[in-house]
Structure formats: C-alpha cells, structure tokens
Structure 1
Amino acid sequence: MRLLVALVAGALLAAPALASEPATSDPEPITIGEAYAMETHDAARQINVVLPRGYEKDEGTYPIIVMLDGGRSQDFFLALGIEQWNQLWGRSQPAIFVGVETVDRQRELLPPTETAEEAERYPTAGEADAFRSWLLDEVLPMIRARYRDNGRAILVGESAAGHFVAETWVKHPASFDGYAALSPSLQWNNQSLSRELGKFDRPARPPLFISLADEGGATEEGALRFVAQAKGQMCFADRRSSHVHHANSLHQLLPQALQFLLPTEADWLEEYGLTVDCNKD
C-alpha cells in the first residue's frame, strides 16, 4: 500500500501543472448589419443590410448595392466580403450593401419559358416581373426611407439572377443606375432575351458589366448574341479561356464589376493589378 501511495504521489509531482483557466471577458456578439423580414411570392425572406465604414460618424450619402440571392445561406457573406475588400483598397466606392434573399429562385428570377424541358424541370418558374415590381416598389423604398443614400442603386446577380439583371437592363433600364450580370443564364427560353433584344427601344441605358465563363453551348450563344446587339455603356468580361467557370464567376468577377460601376479616383490600383479587364463598348 505504501508503495502504491508513493508511486501515485510521484506521478502527480512529475506531471505538468494543469493550465490555469485563461482570464476572459464575457463573449460579445459580432454585429455586422441589420435584417428585415419581408414577404413576397408566398414566402418570408430577409433583407440583409450592411452599412459602409464610417457611416455612423459622418452625414454623407452612399450608393446602394442590391445583391440578388443575398440570403445568409446564399451569396450574402461571400459578396459582402468582396465588397468590403474593395472598400479597403479603394477599389470601389463605399456603399450600402443590401442582400435580397430568394426562396424559389427560378420562380422569382426568371420569366416564363416555352421550352418543354425547362418547364418540366422548373414548373414554378416565370414570375420575374412580379418579383421585380416587389423589389422596386417595396424593398428599395424601405431602404431609402431608413438610410442615407445618394439616389444611385446598383443591381447585381449571377446565373439565374444574372438573367434577371440583364432582363431588367433591357426592359426597365431606368430602374437602376448600374447593372452587373455575372454568367447570366441567357440560354433560358431558347435564348429569348438575346433574340428579342432588338425589338426593344434603345434609350441611353445605364452601365452594364456582363460576363461569360466557360459555359459553352446555348448559354454562350445567348451571351454573345446579347453583347453583339446591346447598345450602351457595356463592359463585357469574356472569360471563356481564362479558367473562369460558372461556379466561380461571382468570386472572380464581382470585384471588377463593382470597380467598373462604382469607380474611385484611387491612383494605386493598377500598380497592384486591381484593374478592370473587359471589352468596353
């Protein structure tokens, strides 16, 4: 028994002292913005708002960036991080960032289709006009009533949301002051948006940043036709041979889109390779 006690005591003495509990304060929540609950198309969703750095310390006004598919489980954090990084470098103007959550993307972002395969795959698709009216009549007025904007608003979307952006630019150009359609799904409804583009009046439209990745097929055909027929301030980022895929076009091209649409007077951007690489009309 004495030997056992001695062995245990020796082991305790030889063992390293247990680390003391570090002194910490109570945890604090990390707050980056505000969220508003709204409803449309039979579904509740959130409108996520993040203000630019310094907003609370000055009385300045700012442009609004409306990011489609901007729910917190969608593209909100990715797109916000890119926009905040742009601000850090002075690559694009500080802005009020608004993420608009979508629930049924095809229903909310795409117009009707006459293509049987698309109709079968996405039976709820086709209510983009109603979603656009909700965005313009309810969401933007709510944001402008609560925050200091300078009257300018930019609409950004990728894939199906990119089609929504391009369609808005064509049919309702005065709705926003700048547009970014990243890898838009211009194959939709037998490429109808690009085929019918020439039927619409050609007013002096706001600037449009539009990109094409390596999608190929009908998506590529629709995008190239769209760019060839469109008129206005356009920045076409053709990335078919630049290792840009449909899945990563938002990651790679949103910084340039914001720089094109919300330019600054920063004179160091080219030195660090922060340039806009596109074909401008």
Structure 2
Amino acid sequence: MTLEALGAAREVNIILPPDYAKEPDRRWPVVYQLDGAVTQDLMMGAGLMRWGALWGRSRDAIIVGIETKDRQRELLPATGDPAERAKYPTAGESAAFRAWLAGTVKPLIEARYRHDGTAFLVGESAAGHFVVETWAEAPGLFTGYAAISPSMQWDFEALSRRALGEGKRPPLYLSLADEGGSTETGMERLLGVLPKDQPFCFSDRRKQLRHATSLHGLLPEALQYLIPTEADWLEEYGMVLRCERRGGEG
C-alpha cells in the first residue's frame, strides 16, 4: 500500500507468513522494519526472518516494511552539531515520523491483519537511532525493540545522555560493529545508564562485523531475542545469543 507521511508518498509493504491463509484462527506477531521499501532492506529482512522461522530460531511474523524517503529527516531528531546540520539540513523530524507510525500505520495494520497483540520495531544505523529514541520516549508503542549499529554519535551523543528514570521498559536489542569513535562511546554510555531492571541484549561485534554488514549478520539474532521459540536444538547448530544479557528474553 502507499501512504503519505511528512509530505511524501511512501510504500508500506506487508509480507504475511506462508501459513497465514491456511490457519485462519491463528494470530501472529508483527515486525515493523524501517527502511523497508522493496529497493531498501525489505527483501533481505524478509528472507532472514523466513530463514529464522524455518530453523525454529525465531517465530514467524507479519512483516511491515516502512519506506523512508529522506532518512535523516525522518529518522533523526534535530542536532546541535553545526557539521551535522550542514551535511543534513533536512534532519530533525523523527518525532513527526513516530507520530505517523503510532497514529496511522499501526492502527491500520492492527485493523486489517490477524495480529497477536505484540509488535516489534527493527532498524539499523539512523533507523537504529530512531528505534532507541522511540524506546526512550514512547516505550509502550512496541513490545520490543532492535537497534542494530545505531547512530549514537548523532547530536554529540545526546541520546545516550538522556535521563531514562527507573522502571522496566520493553526488551531492547543493541549491537555495535566497527563504527568506533563517538558511535562507540555513545553506545557505551547508553549501556551504562540503562535502568537496572531493563531487559536487554547487547551484541558486541566490533571485531567481527563492519557497519555495512551488521544488519545482515545480526537481524537473525535480534529476532531470536525478541520473538524466541522453544526449540531445543539451536545451540547444536550454533544459533545462540552471543550477547550480554539482562532480564530474560523477549
């Protein structure tokens, strides 16, 4: 389907589980994938999700791919960094994009498709920053969150300096690849301020993955954390959560 947000028409792509039509009484989790156009990450994400379900690594889900048109505008808040403002002059409307997801996209999906009441937000890089920001500002919007290599350097690492307060929030998957610099220090600070009862899974892949390969390499693990199965053979095949964890699984 095509919807309009922030003055631009964009794809909202729905991929249903293979058994959706065969099991009319069954309900499914919903995974919202940012940068989810056909020409973006949708097909890769759908393939990895299908592969995980085939192996029993993660549950099958309804996939909702959300196209982005101007990623910095839609996925990032305003910045006080002059260099970032000069490079990305349109950035800063993540709150409006989040309001569109909450007020238009989610109600539409929930009205049209057989969901089980759970919804998960997944994003990488700038979309990962959007995921963490949403988890921080509107935690109840989704059941769980996965931020793969999030752009924690944005606005002098401001997201990692935000006061989160106490209280348990939904499970949060985080990862770091070879980004280094302020992306790394921002992530380290965020990990240090997570509430003590916060369930999270931090996958440290600084020595194994590049920024460009982090989504490909880690989406299966993120889904295993957020929508796990009861499969007892995963360790035998190397499908384990290689991450620092707290508070249980998703």
Matched, 1:44 2:9: yes
Counterpart in the other structure of 1:186: 152
Aligned partner (choices 215, 220, 223) of residue 187 of structure 2: 223
Query: RMSD value over aligned CA atoms?
Result: 0.7
Distance 1:279 1:210 in 2: 10
Q: Deviations over 1:207-239 (max 9, x none)?
A: 000000111001000011111111200100011
Structure-1-length-normalised TM-score: 0.85
What SS does the corresponding residue of 2:152 show, helix, strand or coil?
Answer: coil
Cα distance in structure 2, aligned partners of 1:216 and 1:71: 29
1:209 aligns with 2:173: yes
**Is the Cα contact below 8 Å between 2:120 and 2:144 reproduced in 1?**
yes
- What TM-score results when the alignment is normalised by the length of structure 2? 0.96
Partner of 1:66: 32
Q: Give the unaligned 5+ runs of structure 1.
A: 1-35
Q: 2:234 is aligned with what amino acid?
A: L
> Is structure 2 residue 245 aligned with structure 1 residue 247?
no
Identity %: 53
Query: What pairs up with 1:43-122 in 2 under 5 angstroms?
Result: 43-58=8-23, 59-122=25-88
Question: Per the alignment, in what secondary structure is the counterpart of residue 84 of structure 2?
Answer: helix
Structure 2 spans left out of the alignment, 5+ residues: none
Verify: 1:155 aligned to 2:121, yes or no.
Answer: yes
Number of equivalences = 243
Deviation at 1:138, TM superposition (A): 0.3
Query: Offset of 1:201 from its aligned partner?
Result: 2.8
Kindly indicate whether residue 217 of structure 2 is the aligned counterpart of residue 257 of structure 1: no
- Return the alpha-carbon distance in structure 1 between the equivalents of residues 70 and 138 of structure 2: 22
CA displacement 1:226-279 (0-9 Å, x = unmatched):
11111200100011122x011000000000000000000111111111111100
Tell me, yes or no, if the aligned pair for 2:164 and 2:194 is still in contact at 8 Å: no
CA distance in 2 between counterparts of 1:91 and 1:48 reads 24
Aligned partners of 1:250 and 1:48: how far apart in 2?
19
Structure with larger RCO (C-alpha < 8 A, sep 6+): 2
SS of aligned partner of 2:4? strand
- Once the two structures are TM-superposed, the CA of residue 202 in structure 1 deviates from its matched residue by 2.6
